[in-house]
């Protein structure tokens, strides 16, 4: 990969990847550099990080939980000694700040920047490796939809969600009982991990906005759904659930196809993420033209 700019923002990364132009990320980092917890500047470049409080996780577990995100105006995906020294500065500062501000930290490490990984390994001990995530994107094309007989998809409105809330939430609970995300991997958060995702889904219902929950039905019965986020350039598929009794009907494929086409019709690309080892979902995406463009590792640090 070439030298590029990086910020931990999926909408912006996917848009820049599609257009092969990362200058907008570079410009944005320069404009917001004063808000970073730490930054190192040299020759017009900015390298830093920002710490965000994870309010839902903090509330659920009763302790302060944080997420660390990185921002680089210029980063080489291959190793070089000078860049490694910059990352040394960054991780020394991060380690000191984490020691002073007690809490439970999720450090999101971009997998494609070897010197970030080297810096973490050199300066951050005691972390819990909690898996990784791969992001894929498709833009500028529609998907031919050939759903099985009786299967339809559409954006739910408020009345539909009110009528079918119990069915959809039951689907959510069942799906996330077997889900193994980063909070399931960590022994610190494992006991309530499923609740994190359930609360996330519930927030879509409680703070409903139009065109945010795509539902798949089979002869009028809901069999799955996918929530989305959206900005001016991209649509992101975020959380999805499929009824275990209807998995062979192609409901998930119908949902993602519909969202890709929705994005296309609105002049946008579509992006989504999943765990490294979720090969079935990635295979479905690939068959619809989606391609990987980014991945990151989750390292948790219990620094309470």
Q: Which residues contact 187 (CB under 8 A, 6 or more apart)?
A: 128
Distance between first and last Cα of the chain: 37
- The total of other beta-carbon atoms located within 10 Å of residue 228's CB is 21
Confidence of residue 200 (pLDDT cuts 50, 70, 90): confident
**Are 142 and 260 within 8 A, CB to CB?**
yes
On the question of pLDDT at 106 being above 90, the answer is: yes
Encode 232-271: b = buried (16+ Cβ within 10 Å), e = exposed: ebbbbbbbbbbbeebeebbbbbbbbbbbbbbbbeeebbbb
- The total of other beta-carbon atoms located within 10 Å of residue 188's CB is 17
Provide the mean pLDDT of the chain. Answer: 94
- The total of other beta-carbon atoms located within 10 Å of residue 165's CB is 12
**Are 227 and 239 within 8 A, CB to CB?**
yes
In the chain, % of residues over pLDDT 70:
99
pLDDT digits (tens, 9 = 90+) for 181-194: 899 999 999 989 88
pLDDT digits (tens, 9 = 90+) for 249-280: 999 999 999 999 999 999 999 999 999 999 99
- Give the span between the Cα atoms of 270 and 290, in whole angstroms: 8
- The total of other beta-carbon atoms located within 10 Å of residue 202's CB is 14
**Are 54 and 106 within 8 A, CB to CB?**
yes
**Are 272 and 237 within 8 A, CB to CB?**
yes
How confident is the model at residue 196, as a pLDDT?
Answer: 85
Torsion of CA 86, 89, 91, 96, to 10 degrees: -170
- The total of other beta-carbon atoms located within 10 Å of residue 138's CB is 23
**Are 224 and 240 within 8 A, CB to CB?**
yes
How confident is the model at residue 281, as a pLDDT?
Answer: 94
User: What Rg do the C-alpha atoms of the chain give, in angstroms?
Assistant: 20
- Give the span between the Cα atoms of 88 and 69, in whole angstroms: 16
On the question of pLDDT at 1 being above 60, the answer is: no
Packing angle, helices 81-100 and 114-123, rounded to 10: 50
3-state secondary structure (DSSP) of residue 149? coil
On the question of pLDDT at 119 being above 90, the answer is: yes
pLDDT digits (tens, 9 = 90+) for 13-51: 999 999 999 999 999 999 999 999 999 999 999 999 999
**Token couple for 186:** 């960590």
Strand partners of residue 11: none
Q: What is the maximum alpha-carbon separation in the chain? A: 62
| pTM metric for this prediction | 0.93
- Give the span between the Cα atoms of 282 and 292, in whole angstroms: 9
**Token couple for 295:** 């991945």
Distance of CA 9 to the CA centre of its chain: 9
> In terms of residues, how long is the chain?
304
Handedness of CA 172, 177, 178, 184 (dihedral sign): positive
Number of DSSP helices (H) and strands (E) in the chain, helices first:
10, 12
31 vs 196, higher pLDDT: 31
How confident is the model at residue 208, as a pLDDT?
Answer: 85
């Amino acid at each position: 990969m070439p030298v590029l700019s990086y910020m931990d923002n999926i909408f912006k990364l996917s848009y820049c990847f599609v257009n092969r132009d990362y200058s907008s990320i570079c410009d944005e980092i320069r404009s917001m550099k004063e808000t970073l917890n730490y930054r190192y500047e040299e020759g017009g470049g900015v390298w830093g990080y920002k710490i965000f409080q994870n309010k839902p996780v903090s509330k659920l577990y009763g302790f302060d939980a944080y997420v660390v995100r990185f921002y680089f105006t210029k980063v080489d995906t291959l190793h070089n000694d000078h860049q490694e020294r910059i990352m040394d500065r960054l991780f020394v500062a991060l380690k000191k700040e984490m020691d002073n501000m007690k809490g439970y930290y999720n450090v999101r490490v971009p997998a494609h920047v070897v010197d970030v990984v080297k810096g973490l390994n050199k300066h951050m001990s005691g972390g819990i490796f909690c898996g990784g995530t791969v992001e894929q994107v498709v833009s500028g094309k529609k998907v031919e939809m050939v759903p099985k007989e009786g299967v339809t998809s559409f954006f739910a409105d408020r009345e539909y969600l009110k009528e079918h809330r119990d069915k959809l939430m039951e689907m959510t609970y069942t799906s996330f009982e077997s889900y193994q995300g980063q909070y399931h991997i960590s022994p610190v958060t494992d006991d309530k991990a499923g609740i994190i995702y359930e609360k996330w889904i519930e927030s879509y219902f409680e703070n409903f906005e139009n065109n945010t929950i795509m539902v798949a039905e089979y002869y009028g019965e809901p069999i799955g759904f996918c929530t989305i986020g959206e900005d001016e350039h991209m649509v992101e598929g975020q959380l999805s659930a499929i009824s275990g009794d209807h998995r062979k009907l192609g409901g998930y494929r119908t949902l993602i196809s519909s969202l890709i086409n929705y994005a296309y019709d609105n002049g946008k690309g579509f992006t989504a993420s999943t765990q490294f080892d979720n090969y079935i979902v990635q295979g479905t995406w690939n068959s619809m033209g989606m391609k990987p463009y980014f991945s990151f590792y989750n390292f948790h640090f219990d620094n309470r």
